[in-house]
């Protein structure tokens, strides 16, 4: 630690050398290097937090610059974490910055967060926020929450010393498109700056053990009238009972881009003698089926998947294309390497247009 660098903090009553030492020993993960992440990163780094993890998988775009003031025009197109690393090292080369050029996902969340004392959720979407919450509950780590909507913002500290969590306020994720994000709704550049700085302040308070941490209280900020309101809320014990992450947090399974072929391909698939699996019921199959289709009803797919040759492409067929999608999802779990197609529109489409 360079002499005098933090002298204005170490001379501050109530913070002092002790507070500074706590910052130097602290390990903080910042999830998201965007509008909220930038002020959090800038201040934690400037103030002397020892280890800072920066996580993002996005690149800097020109439309980010009005609020993500760490980045400049020359960074457009550059990875956010790489650009941030460069600026933060220039700002303070004492700190240990670890970059994660990835988004937080169920498969990496626990391993990464385990290395830190505190998480700052500066993400911009609900799936990540719920994932941060659940991972922090499982690992018993506090996290500083901040989020915004238009001219308003919310700040709180969750899971702090057994205190309430994000799910104690909002038990379940809202439906997709129910609440617009910044990209859809717009954002005034300064607002994430204010909310992010409030988050940075809470992070510093948690680390240094000063003041009253915003735990069990939700701060509501409105930039248009400069009003701050606080709502008290209590812990709901069931929200501390999370033992494992959900398999996925997206509204749609991120791997759920289901490969499809259109029903007009059925004729050529039959000519090629391709592997077509018909997942309709026995009755439907008896009623009508393609000459070379293999019949495995959807409800016995799991037990009968031995009938499928996964080393060649698998084309799944049903009446309308719905069950075949479900079948693809089911099979993909156990056979992730296989090539699975759902036939769009199913037999209905084929019979209506192609036969």
Tokens 């500066």 sit on residue: 122
Q: Which of 136, 168, 255, 318 is catalytic?
A: 318
Site membership for another protein, residue 230 (CB under 8 A): yes
| CA atoms of 158 and 106, how far apart (whole Å) | 19
Query: Does residue 182 interact with another protein by CB under 8 A?
Result: yes
When binding is defined by CB under 8 A, the residue of 30, 118, 148, 318 that contacts another protein is: 148
Number of residues that bind another protein (CB under 8 A): 43
Contact 82, 57 (CB under 8 A): no
Task: Yes or no: say if 193 and 147 are a contact pair by the CB < 8 Å rule.
Answer: no
Burial class (CB in 10 A: 0-12, 13-18, 19+), 8: exposed
Q: Which of 1, 12, 231, 255 binds another protein (CB under 8 A)?
A: 231
Q: Does 218 bind another protein (CB under 8 A)?
A: yes
Q: Is 63 in the site for another protein (CB under 8 A)?
A: no
Verify binding: residue 187, another protein, rule CB under 8 A. yes
Question: Per-residue x/- mask for another protein, residues 95 to 124, rule CB under 8 A?
Answer: ---------------------------xxx
Residue 163 touching another protein (CB under 8 A):
no
13 binds another protein (CB under 8 A): no
Q: Is 212 in the site for another protein (CB under 8 A)?
A: no
SS (H, E, C) 104-147: CCHHHHHHHHCCCCEEEECCCCHHHHHHHHHHHHHHCCCEEEEE
Euclidean distance between CA atoms 187 and 184, whole angstroms: 9
Pick between residue 107 and residue 230 the one whose CB is nearest to another protein: 230
For the question of residue 255 being annotated catalytic, the response is: no
Burial of 46 (0-12, 13-18, 19+ CB in 10 A): middle
Rounded to a whole number of angstroms, the minimum distance from the CB of residue 125 to another protein is 5
Token readout for 156 is 């709180």
Smallest gap, in angstroms, from Cβ of residue 193 to another protein? 12
Nearest alpha carbon to residue 263 among 314, 315, 332, 313: 315
The reply on whether position 55 binds another protein by CB under 8 A is no
Q: Which stretch binds another protein (CB under 8 A): 178-186, 251-259, 280-288, 332-340?
A: 178-186
SS3 content of the chain, % helix, strand, coil (to 5): 40, 20, 40
In angstroms, rounded to a whole number, what is the distance separating the alpha carbons of residues 303 and 347?
24
Query: Can 168 be counted among the known catalytic residues?
Result: no
Q: Which of 100, 103, 116, 126 binds another protein (CB under 8 A)?
A: 126
In our burial notation (b when 16+ CB lie closer than 10 A, e otherwise), range 180-200 reads eebeeeebeeebbbbbbbbbb
**153 part of the interface to another protein, by CB under 8 A:** yes
232 lies in the site for another protein, by CB under 8 A: yes
For another protein, the binding residues (CB under 8 A) are 32, 34-37, 122-126, 129, 146-150, 152-154, 169-175, 178-182, 185, 187, 192, 218, 220, 222, 229-234
Query: What residues act catalytically?
Result: 182, 318
């Amino acid at each position: 630690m360079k002499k005098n660098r933090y002298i204005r903090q170490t001379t501050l009553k109530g913070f002092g050398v002790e507070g500074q030492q706590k910052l130097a020993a602290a390990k903080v993960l910042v999830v998201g290097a965007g509008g909220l992440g930038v002020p959090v990163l800038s201040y934690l780094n400037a103030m002397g937090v020892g280890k800072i993890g920066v996580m993002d998988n996005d690149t800097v775009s020109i439309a980010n610059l009005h609020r993500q003031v760490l980045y400049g025009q020359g960074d457009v197109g550059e990875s956010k974490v790489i650009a941030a690393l460069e600026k933060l090292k220039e700002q303070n080369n004492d700190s240990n910055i670890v970059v994660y050029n990835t988004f937080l996902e169920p498969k990496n969340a626990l391993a990464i967060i385990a290395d830190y004392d505190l998480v700052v959720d500066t993400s911009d979407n609900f799936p990540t926020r719920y994932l941060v919450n659940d991972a922090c509950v499982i690992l018993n780590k506090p996290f500083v929450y901040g989020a915004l909507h238009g001219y308003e913002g919310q700040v709180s500290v969750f899971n702090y010393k057994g205190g309430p969590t994000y799910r104690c306020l909002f038990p379940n994720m809202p439906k997709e498109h129910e609440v617009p994000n910044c990209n859809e709704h717009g954002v005034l550049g300064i607002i994430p700056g204010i909310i992010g700085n409030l988050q940075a302040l809470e992070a510093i308070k948690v680390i240094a053990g000063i003041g009253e941490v915003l735990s069990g209280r939700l701060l509501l900020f409105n930039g248009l009238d400069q009003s701050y309101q606080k709502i008290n809320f209590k812990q709901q014990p069931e929200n501390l009972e999370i033992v494992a992450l959900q398999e996925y947090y997206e509204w749609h399974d991120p791997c759920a881009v289901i490969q499809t072929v259109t029903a007009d391909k059925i004729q050529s698939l039959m000519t090629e003698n391709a592997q077509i699996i018909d997942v309709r019921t026995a009755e439907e199959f008896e009623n009508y089926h393609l000459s070379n289709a293999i019949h495995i009803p959807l409800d016995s797919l799991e037990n009968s998947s031995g009938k499928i040759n996964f080393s060649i492409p698998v084309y799944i067929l049903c009446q309308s294309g719905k069950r075949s999608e479900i079948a693809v999802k089911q099979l993909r779990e156990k056979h992730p390497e296989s090539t699975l197609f759902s036939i769009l529109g199913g037999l209905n489409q084929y019979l209506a247009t192609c036969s």
